Chain A
Amino acid sequence: MAGGNGELKLLGMWASPFVTRAKLALHIKGLPYEYVEEDLGNKSALFLSSNPVHKTVPVLIHNGKPICESSVIVQYIDDAFPGVGTPLLPADPYERAVARFWAAYIEDKVVTSWAPVFRVKTDEERDEAARQTLAAVEVLEGALKECSGGKGAFFGGDSVGYVDVLLGGLVSWLKANEPLTGTKLIDATKTPLLAAWMERFCELDVAKAVLQDVDAVVEYAMALRVRLAASSAANN
């Protein structure tokens, strides 16, 4: 088994919000790791052998063994390093179930509704995707109220937890949405708790260390949109 004791390697792509989640978890736990930027247009042998099923980033390699899927990686980091830093998931089984529920909601309703925004061709499709994403964000506002118990600052209560990490990874893209599409996803007038959460989250040292520059994300997304439009035109 290649790799030394506790050797952590993260295969990623700088713009990916899913990679950002993994980075956030590693930084919160204070775990040193080697970051490898993957060229997704020319995938490395290590990358392909580490995630043959999905061929996506992030992949965390711990002592030579790969872990894939951002939510699985974040839970793994929490499980494998129990004594280190604050646990991301609470100890109580019911509270864990609630955290997992909102994590799944973010995946199924926010990310899934939102991703098409960058791929769809018509304005109608884009508006529909935006509408669905905004509806999901409003539900999350209610979740934050419930989870933070009114007094806490985060979904995890007083400290950053599992849901905060999963949503936190998306922050630069959430902010990029307005310059890209004209729609503000986290609007203080509509979802004040989430807006405050986002500000608070961005003030954290780990966020400052890890979150991508919003302008860079905007530029990346615009170039991606152009590339996708060109390739679909070529295929028609």
Chain B
Amino acid sequence: MQSADVGDPSKANKAVKKSVKKERRKEKISNKGDSSKSQQQQSVQQFDGAVAPKSKAELRAERRAKQEAERAAKTLKKEEQAKSNKAKGPQVSANLQVDDPKVQKKAAKKLEKQQVPQRTEGHKKVTLFSHLHQYERSVSITKDIGFGSTGIHPAIIKLGLQYAEGIITGSNARCAALMNAVCQLIADYETPPQKELARHLESKLKPAISFLNQCRPLSVSMGSAIKYMKIKITKIPSDMSDDKAKQELISDLQAFVHVNITLAKQAISNSACSKISDGDVVMIYGSSSLIIHVLNAAFKTGRNFRVVVVDGRPKLSGIRALRHLCRAGIKCSYVLISAVSYIMPEVTKVFLGAHGLLSNGYVMGSVGTSLVSMAAKARGVPVIVCCEAYKFCERVQTDSFVNNEIGDPRDLLATDGSSSGPLIKEDAYKNLDSLKVLHLTYDVTPPQYMAMVVTELGMLPCTSVPVVLRVRSFDT
């Protein structure tokens, strides 16, 4: 049969149906007991442009039709199976498949549709991390955004730039700033006619979030906030007026920040303070807003302790922590991370902040956290992680390679044009092809190095993260 094109499923389907119908009609006619001649004639008319009506040819044609029908049905089945197999496979984010050109093409198309500018990859990529984005901060991502109305609200553009330039750092600060910007977006939002607030607002948020993701990959805290946002938006009743809905959304988001960041900070300080006793030497790494708050609170209760601040390049965020603590009157020392095993015999406790806590009990923190924990464990010094409960995520990770954020390698090179000094110069980096510089942002610490995690729900062992996630899912 000419119409049965095997490669095209929809056409094959129609051809199958046609041939089945024809066969049924033939059977009906034969059952009615028409004369064989008229039967032959009719069958000749159905098989258009056929040769002389011979019974053998008829039979052959019938057999062929049946075969084509079966073949078409088989191909349909195979394609359906292939589709279902694809759906069963693990869903890996496009951000972890940068070395797969097909996945990247799809992601690029998606961004184009949302009118979000895409960042260009850096020139020199470290092959071990070729599955992750390795950007260089050469050109501002907002250069291509015109003054006309694009899909992205100016508050979001401002926020994205602040993230990309490193003006807003720290998971709590980033999350709070995100909620602020989204509140502004919602306040300025007008539902277009004949569209529902809940659906259209979500479609407005998607390009905003993609843009922020391009500026700087989303942190665990931001991911948690966005999930909450989406749940609240879908729960808006359809009969509520737009103004009221917007007001409620804004107050909900502000309450999220208040409960999960501000109030949690106080609860955690109260519990963690009890673990700092007189005469303690507390070590901290980098600058975590929560840890600084805990230490300030403990100092205010009159405890006598001193702090060792460990710092790491290139961010040198420990200097900020040092400034805050010294201003409060706490005695501090400052070392670089290379001296951590030297200073460890003096230390009695280590307090660390976390970027996020994973479901298998691993703690994701700024790069260097795992080093400090391992050094502490080797000397029997207890490591206490303070982390708000909204930073618990359902991800599971056992190493720092699979999922990480690669920063700009130029941050590690010499910043000023001085020709002396130990740091690599920019020209040397550009000219030497075999020289690659890696700037990791996060690392992952196994739970056996941590003594406990302090959250607003109390003091827990690291392995209790799934329990907390379960308890919280009952609340929301």
Bound pair: A and B? no
